[in-house]
């Protein structure tokens, strides 16, 4: 059972999130607060695993609340303004929900949080602290069940889960206790970051649109403005030209 806190200065929105969360067995609501200052007090005095927080609140915003806490719990931000998403992810928030909140969207965020918290509580961080170095066309990934061999060509994309990374292939997904920043340093040049939370295999791209990348096997990941120019430069180098040299 994971303990959660709800923070929103709008009573209707706060009650809606509370109603939805009470339908999810793995969460216990320890408190609801109508401002960030009250929420900070709860976090100091209670065990809180995850905070579902509005961003725009008087006196102390949701992001300022997260920044003010040493060793904070996990955060899922809920707001009316999608433009806050980039800053939210820069603070390593687990998810970002744009209002109006629906049960389906909140459930998706909760499942992601449960997966992350379960993994965080189940692994021995000392045992998994070091990542294997790349080896030619493949590498070995340390998982809870042992070492798994993966070919770089089979990796479609990698998603950040805070201290962990989730590696997707056509038929499976693997989770390792190596954060995306450290994993990026060890990947070959066929991989590139396209978003704060995503690295893709260039060889797995199907289509690039304005703000998304469609990969093979029906996977889609977001494309951030900050990473788009670097991606397009790499793509141009692989594009056929009408003119021969």
Looking at residue 82, what is its pLDDT? Answer: 67
Residue 128 lies in a domain: no
CATH number at 79 reads 3.40.50.2300
Distances in Å between the Cα of 129 and the Cα atoms of 70, 123, 125, 148, 178 are: 22, 10, 6, 16, 7
Average pLDDT, the chain: 84
Residues 24 and 48 grouped into a single domain: yes
Residue 33 lies in a domain: yes
pLDDT in tens, 107-165: 999 998 898 888 777 654 434 434 444 446 888 877 666 678 888 999 999 998 877 88
d(CA 215, CA 222): 11
Read off φ and ψ for residue 122, nearest 5 degrees: -100, -20
Give me the residue label for tokens 């999810």. Answer: 24
Residues 195 and 149 grouped into a single domain: yes
Residue 105 lies in a domain: yes
**pTM of the full structure:** 0.60
Spatial CA neighbour of 117 closest among 76, 61, 70: 76
Q: Residue 190: which domain range? A: 138-236
Residue 59 burial by Cβ neighbours in a 10 Å radius (0-12, 13-18, 19+): exposed
Mean pLDDT calculated for residue range 170-181: 84
Residues 151 and 93 grouped into a single domain: no
CA 184-96-38 angle, to 5 degrees, is 120
Looking at residue 115, what is its pLDDT? Answer: 84
């Amino acid at each position: 059972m994971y303990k959660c806190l709800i923070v929103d200065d709008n009573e209707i929105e706060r009650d809606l999130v509370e109603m939805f969360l009470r339908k999810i067995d793995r969460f216990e609501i320890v408190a609801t607060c109508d401002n960030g200052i009250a929420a900070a007090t709860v976090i100091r005095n209670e065990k809180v695993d995850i905070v579902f927080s509005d961003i725009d609140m008087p006196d102390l915003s949701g992001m300022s609340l997260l920044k003010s806490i040493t060793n904070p719990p996990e955060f899922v931000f809920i707001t009316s303004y999608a433009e806050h998403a980039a800053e939210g992810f820069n603070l390593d928030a687990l998810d970002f929900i744009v209002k109006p909140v629906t049960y389906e969207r909140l459930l998706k965020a909760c499942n992601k949080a449960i997966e992350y918290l379960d993994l965080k509580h189940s692994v021995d961080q000392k045992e998994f602290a070091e990542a294997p170095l790349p080896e030619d066309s493949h590498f070995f990934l340390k998982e809870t069940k042992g070492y798994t061999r993966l070919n770089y060509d089979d990796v479609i994309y990698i998603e950040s889960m805070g201290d962990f990374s989730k590696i997707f292939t056509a038929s499976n997904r693997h989770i390792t206790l190596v954060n995306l920043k450290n994993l990026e340093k060890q990947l070959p040049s066929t991989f590139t970051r396209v978003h704060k939370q995503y690295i893709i295999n260039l060889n797995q791209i199907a289509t690039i649109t304005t703000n998304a990348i469609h990969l093979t096997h029906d996977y889609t990941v977001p494309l951030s403005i900050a990473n788009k120019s670097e991606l397009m430069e790499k793509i141009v180098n692989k594009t056929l030209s009408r003119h021969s040299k």
